[in-house]
Structure 1
């Protein structure tokens, strides 16, 4: 095993977060139970390790066990002391500019949520509109919302564990989007989250656009397993997966979905559950599922699963385009023109989709445990959009058991999560998840997958 280069240094801020109060410094350095230091260290280390690819959060922690980060408070402003940081974050002893910028995004978002929002009576037990307002406040504090700019942010979803053919295809689609002046927002990790940014970067360069935006939206539970890729120039850390998902659909104007695993399926089900709500039937939201020719079977499986569980209305909310990057970009651009006309006619903001109705069941954090996974209502005795919400939670639990530290710990201690419900739905879910395993979409290539879930084909466990 090659020994990693470690670097210790002090870095100055880049961006808007350049001063802290004494109370904020104490919060970030608090290593007691419930303190911010473990979260601060974890997110900072993930940012510094952006050139490495691994979907096991323990690998990062163990590999850089001696890493430490401290606040240096001076009269002239804030600095960070890095101790035994990954050498890949430095060039000739100097920290890479983009990584330095993302480090201070970590400080900004962790402090804003913890000191400004968390514990606030208004946000802790608020209704759906209040939670939507919370997402808005986090994005505004990150200066992600730009008034008077026509809708041009395309969210790209897809797996971190994809083959080279699929990865190259994501770059081709990103290139076509970039040529059309569109900005890219992804989950900021590797694979299908990195490829579109890489391609769009070239498209922007050919159009001499030096203001291209590459926004990465992540959350603490997954950042260690999916470190921000180095192309991200705007990093935003949301407090949990539900607020991360809402940020995507409120902030983005259209979505392209590439092949992926349960995390991508979770995102698809989340979005379809929202779009299927009667209050959202009139709202344009361009959605394209796409991949190279070899991914056609994958999308057939996804389409069949959606048709069998959520019905034809859900299938009508998206287009499947195979092996045609130019047509993907063309359809998205046409869709964004419709979004622009709709926002203009209704007076809705270009920068934030206020009119989209999202029920609280899509916003409340779901904590995957053996009890909560077994209790999920996975049957047809509920509105279709609520079934989508529960199917989304099931996929969220699989993601947790695969790549999140809390989920991995639970699986190690108690065995696989159990899922039960309508026999036909369980059969469809088992078939879909089984195909993900066979196609190596659960873990990065070369890893041996140990199932974190078990399908129980009965209403009783």
Structure 2
């Protein structure tokens, strides 16, 4: 049911689920409606707004929430099942009085994950989230509950990383790569947002149609802090909300069988450092994990800069874990397909599951949530005299803090109150880091509204 549209907002709408998410306990409904700090209403409202705001060109969570300050969502439990009553939703989520089916499905994915994580998972005494094994098991449980794990299917899922604020030429290239992946019957997993997260899904969707693939998967993995700034794109047909950025990143590397990286900014740099740090750990030395950096000819200098930074900070071993393919979508897809064959053989040999990479060692340094406070950012260990995988972990945290200061509501508010983050360490390392970040600014890769960008950080040389 839909009420009138005023100023691009739908005053009131009632939505019911189609599928399994049709009943909740009274306690679950009460927590979803609880507006106190211990309640779930704030996080539920924020994630629902992000889903309904699909297609938005805003990448500032605070701006999104301010623009829809009168938005609200209420869970109503009735004898026939549950329904959502929504006030002042973005009108773009509806067509002729009906909510778009994909948006409705993703809305109830939000409900499913928030109820499960905060109602069953975090209160499960069998999962100790203070240790590595417990965290990995939690990631597995969330993905299984979201029904994205497919046992007995050979490796076919490519994770695509890249910027949400890429230019149109780079976006078209991501579509071409996605198309080539889809022609090879590969599925796509991204961070679910716009730009390099949308393009590969769109390209693969067309290729799957040509190949008569009727069950193509376009998996979007996000978390509450980032979803408001990067609303799920309309191609996503399986949306998963993880509790935090660290579990989101681990979900990518456990679920995916290979990763393609497109041009991006600090968020993409964070993802690269995360994966390279894991692969540099001695326990993962012999584990195959196809990793391809690719972009159009205009992105050659960008990947040259990334490659140089990695070589100067993490060393040649890190460089050996990826290949750079410029302006050749078919070659990038072929490299990924060939890499999948090695992954399949390795998992057969080690009796590892196809659907979840249990053998991969993810150290505690990459799992414990990092709170990007000013004190924590200032005290990061950014010195060269440590093992490369540990340096990668700390550099990843620095990038994560900048992402928070750029687009997450809490990070933006912290910058307004206390000024930019201070990042310090070895002089040479800080010079290289500052040069990399300056390049992101100059190439307008920090935010969609790059002309207004003011750095949320200061690198102390």
TM-score normalised over the length of structure 1: 0.97
Name 2:39's counterpart in structure 1. Answer: 35
Q: How big is the shift at 1:323?
A: 0.2
How far apart in 2 are the matches of 1:449 and 1:402? Answer: 9
Given candidates 420, 423, 445, the residue that maps to 1:419 is 423
How far apart in 2 are the matches of 1:238 and 1:256? Answer: 21
How far apart in 1 are the matches of 2:389 and 2:7? Answer: 50
How far apart in 2 are the matches of 1:102 and 1:7? Answer: 20
Name 2:242's counterpart in structure 1. Answer: 238
Q: Is the 8 A contact 2:276 2:389 kept in 1?
A: yes
Name 1:114's counterpart in structure 2. Answer: 118
Given candidates 51, 63, 68, the residue that maps to 1:47 is 51
Deviations along 1:296-344, whole A, 9 cap, x unmatched?
Answer: 0000000000000000000000000000000000000000011111111
Name 2:132's counterpart in structure 1. Answer: 128
Name 2:66's counterpart in structure 1. Answer: 62
Q: Is the 8 A contact 1:55 1:226 kept in 2?
A: yes
The reply on whether 1:393 has 2:393 as its aligned counterpart is no
Q: In the TM superposition, what are the counterparts of 1:15-164 in structure 2 within 5 Å?
A: 15-164=19-168
How far apart in 1 are the matches of 2:72 and 2:441? Answer: 36
Name 1:358's counterpart in structure 2. Answer: 362
How far apart in 2 are the matches of 1:228 and 1:7? Answer: 22
Given candidates 165, 177, 190, the residue that maps to 2:181 is 177
Q: In the TM superposition, what are the counterparts of 1:198-277 in structure 2 within 5 Å?
A: 198-277=202-281
Name 1:346's counterpart in structure 2. Answer: 350
How far apart in 2 are the matches of 1:377 and 1:187? Answer: 28
Name 1:406's counterpart in structure 2. Answer: 410
How far apart in 1 are the matches of 2:188 and 2:239? Answer: 12
Instruction: Give structure 1 stretches of 5+ with no counterpart.
Output: none
Name 1:11's counterpart in structure 2. Answer: 15
How far apart in 2 are the matches of 1:47 and 1:146? Answer: 25
Deviations along 1:177-222, whole A, 9 cap, x unmatched?
Answer: 0000100000000000000000000010110111100000000000
Q: Is the 8 A contact 2:55 2:194 kept in 1?
A: no
Instruction: Give structure 2 stretches of 5+ with no counterpart.
Output: 1-5
Q: In the TM superposition, what are the counterparts of 1:296-375 in structure 2 within 5 Å?
A: 296-375=300-379
Q: Is the 8 A contact 1:118 1:124 kept in 2?
A: no
Q: How big is the shift at 1:398?
A: 0.6
Kindly tell me: are residues 58 and 447 of structure 1, through their superposed partners in 2, closer, same or farther at Cα, counting changes over 3 Å?
farther
How far apart in 1 are the matches of 2:268 and 2:293? Answer: 11
Q: Is the 8 A contact 1:171 1:200 kept in 2?
A: yes
How far apart in 2 are the matches of 1:122 and 1:447? Answer: 49
Q: Is the 8 A contact 1:7 1:87 kept in 2?
A: no
SS at match of 1:334: helix
Q: How big is the shift at 1:446?
A: 5.2
Q: How big is the shift at 1:16?
A: 2.1
Deviations along 1:21-55, whole A, 9 cap, x unmatched?
Answer: 11110011111122100000000010011021211
Deviates more, 1:32-41 or 1:446-455: 446-455
How far apart in 2 are the matches of 1:359 and 1:67? Answer: 40
How far apart in 1 are the matches of 2:242 and 2:129? Answer: 18
Q: How big is the shift at 1:124?
A: 4.8
The reply on whether 1:452 has 2:456 as its aligned counterpart is yes
What is the aligned residue count? 456
Q: Is the 8 A contact 1:7 1:86 kept in 2?
A: no
SS at match of 1:123: coil
Q: Is the 8 A contact 1:188 1:232 kept in 2?
A: yes
Deviates more, 1:192-201 or 1:379-388: 379-388
How far apart in 2 are the matches of 1:95 and 1:347? Answer: 44
Q: How big is the shift at 1:357?
A: 0.4
Deviations along 1:242-265, whole A, 9 cap, x unmatched?
Answer: 000000000000000000000000
Deviations along 1:57-116, whole A, 9 cap, x unmatched?
Answer: 122212222111111211121111111111100110000100110011001100111011
Deviates more, 1:86-95 or 1:446-455: 446-455
TM-score normalised over the length of structure 2: 0.97
Q: Is the 8 A contact 2:128 2:134 kept in 1?
A: no
Name 1:289's counterpart in structure 2. Answer: 293
Following TM superposition, the consecutive aligned residue runs of length 4 or more in structure 1 with deviations greater than 4 angstroms are: none
How far apart in 2 are the matches of 1:442 and 1:15? Answer: 39
Deviates more, 1:4-13 or 1:381-390: 4-13
How far apart in 1 are the matches of 2:70 and 2:401? Answer: 31
